[in-house]
Amino acid sequence: MRTSTECVGCKTAAGLFHRFGYRIGARLGRWGTTSRVSHPEPTRRCRNPQRGFTLVELVMVIALAGAVAVMISGALSRPLEGFVAQSRRAELVDLAAGALNRMARDIRLAVPNSVRINPSNNAIEMFNVLDAGRYRPNRVGGAGLSFASGTGPSCTASFVALPASGQGNCSAFQALNTAVTVAGARWLVVYNIGAETGGVATPGANVWATPVAGVASVISPDGSTFAASAVAGSETLLSMTPPGGSFNFAFASPQRRFYLSDQIIGYRCDAAGNQLIRFSRTARTPTFAGTNAAAEAVQATHVTGCSMTYAAGSSVRAGLVTLRLQLTLEGESIELFQQVHVDNAP
């Protein structure tokens, strides 16, 4: 059989000569010569079984691949865009929900009837509760709390029991708590009813009112100091030293409740920076002073709108704070509402 590498020149004239050369030489030998006729070797040209792509085939493959890629990208683009948008919305919802939950927690921990909103409805502040409990009246025949230096027969507070002289500590009261935190306390509040007259806090009946010298109030004077020590019967002796040496609370709490506050905390929307800011301060002012803060911390970014409203409670319902927060990021916008019920029973 003829293989794929068989020479193509086997049937040429040189091939024929090569095939019959020996016969001619044999005949010459008969005539007395021994020489052989030499002949050239035929050129061997072999077939090449390998082949490549033509330019037309390559262009067709590139065109078909491009068409397939366009169809696939068109089919996947919308799901990918939806996934990115959903991720962006989830990020905004988490940010807004975290800020609103923090606000709700602070509002619930506020001194009763101490929540107030600024006139623009974009800031809120309140007295923070450091500790709270129930008290024993520190005057004989009384239901409230009064403080004065020294001791007296009408004062009922004592480290263990009234001494034989019958003189009690007039600058302290006994709390029905095993321990009371006084470190950092700045104000003592008893039965704050949050009274207002024409939208202005009523002196003596509202923690935000301007202090008036010699007038009993629901909050201790600024600059008062506190100390606590344990007494028998799982109670705590809580003493207060007001700047003037004496102070009377305006009302007695029917449930004998008291609150210690360490600071004023609040939230405000910064329209210029698109932020929700939590602030704190230690100076109380009759008017809203949310920008006069000792410390600030950003709670949310990308804020494009917010509002806060407060409906004070009554004898038949609790107070209600309504919070609205709008966040926008790369054209995606979400808006969250949250309402916080405030137990304002003082």
**Has residue 311 been placed in a domain?**
no
Top-confidence residue, 152 or 30: 152
* Statement to judge: residues 154 and 296 lie in one domain: yes
* Statement to judge: residues 150 and 237 lie in one domain: yes
The residues, ordered by sequence, that sit 6+ positions from 52 with a Cβ below 8 Å of its Cβ are none
Continuous segment of H or E residues that includes residue 22 = helix 13-30
* Statement to judge: residues 22 and 135 lie in one domain: no
Residue 183 predicted with pLDDT over 60: yes
The total of structural domains in the chain comes to 2
**Has residue 91 been placed in a domain?**
no
Token match 């007259």: residue? 197
**Has residue 308 been placed in a domain?**
no
* Statement to judge: residues 162 and 253 lie in one domain: yes
* Statement to judge: residues 198 and 293 lie in one domain: yes
| 32-66: pLDDT as tens digits | 444 454 555 555 555 555 667 788 888 888 988 88
* Statement to judge: residues 185 and 291 lie in one domain: yes
* Statement to judge: residues 123 and 209 lie in one domain: yes
* Statement to judge: residues 41 and 144 lie in one domain: no
| 2-17: pLDDT as tens digits | 444 444 444 444 444 4
Q: End of a domain among 259, 276, 300?
A: 300
DSSP state, residue 93: H
Q: What is the span of the domain harbouring residue 140? A: 115-300
**Has residue 74 been placed in a domain?**
no
> How many C-beta neighbours within 10 Å does residue 157 have?
25
Its sign, for the CA torsion 23, 27, 33, 39, is: negative
Lowest-confidence pick of 58-62, 106-110, 113-117:
58-62
The reported pLDDT for the residue numbered 3 is 42
* Statement to judge: residues 23 and 166 lie in one domain: no
Continuous segment of H or E residues that includes residue 280 = strand 275-281
**Has residue 260 been placed in a domain?**
yes
* Statement to judge: residues 35 and 170 lie in one domain: no
**Has residue 331 been placed in a domain?**
no
Q: What percent of the chain has pLDDT over 90?
A: 50
* Statement to judge: residues 155 and 14 lie in one domain: no
Distance CA 147, CA 242 (A): 8
* Statement to judge: residues 194 and 295 lie in one domain: yes
**Has residue 145 been placed in a domain?**
yes
**Has residue 336 been placed in a domain?**
no
